[in-house]
Structure 1
């Protein structure tokens, strides 16, 4: 059984698109600023394994493959516990950037079956993950 998820967020943040991009494409440093990213292992020039845990007590292991690192669109393919993609579109806005995040993933097998029953809880868990991203991103760019 497979479960399909789509997530989208739009943020207006006091960061330049270039500064936001520089932090977002540097996967190996994610654990330094994004609390829900627990570990990163570089697998190759364009690939990394991330271990993520948000509010719920389980780890997701996802493999990211860089598709685009150029503004305005940053995109990765996602494999591992999830299959799909995540995309950021970064454009200038008054006072900084408009950041549009889109993610579409499929969860297969037993995890997919279990996730169907827990869909509202998993959506909340994802929102907590993205809140950590938003707060950490602003702090990381401010510290740079």
Structure 2
């Protein structure tokens, strides 16, 4: 891994049916409505969009996102990222023994935004913290407003 590369991974546990979680994660256009770090999503092609992301640190990332895998049967999503960061992101949603679901997340990116590249050696822990805050807000947002498991009509 080079000094400009970063890896992130995590799990979201939610009291939602796996299919509901998968559908929310697959619908990128609606992210700004429930995920505060996603400031905007703009369709740029049939299967591409441009997203603007900002968490707690005073910078925005503009990224073109192109889906590579969209498998509702296995509940796997994978996309290529290009822009201020470049790389891949992957989600896999599984059932959690009747208690809801677990969505696992993995991202491997290279920072391309010049201002951020300069600060990488010193700021890497802050970038990880910023990412963790963004992910936490997403986990809270995806559950808010969704009908919990066992309350479906």
TM-score normalised over the length of structure 2: 0.87
Bigger Rg, which one: 2
Q: Secondary structure of the residue that 1:44 maps to in structure 2?
A: coil
Change (3 A) 1:9 1:65: same
Report the Cα offset of residue 140 of structure 1: 4.2
Q: State the Cα RMSD in Å.
A: 1.9
Q: Residues 48-127 of structure 1 correspond to what in structure 2 (within 5 A)?
A: 48-70=49-71, 71-94=74-97, 95-108=99-112, 110=114, 111-127=116-132
Report what 2:42 is aligned to.
41
More strand by share: 1
Aligned residues, how many? Answer: 144
TM-score by length of 1: 0.92
Quick check: 120-129 or 89-98, which moved more?
Answer: 89-98
CA contact (8 A) 2:52 2:62 kept: yes
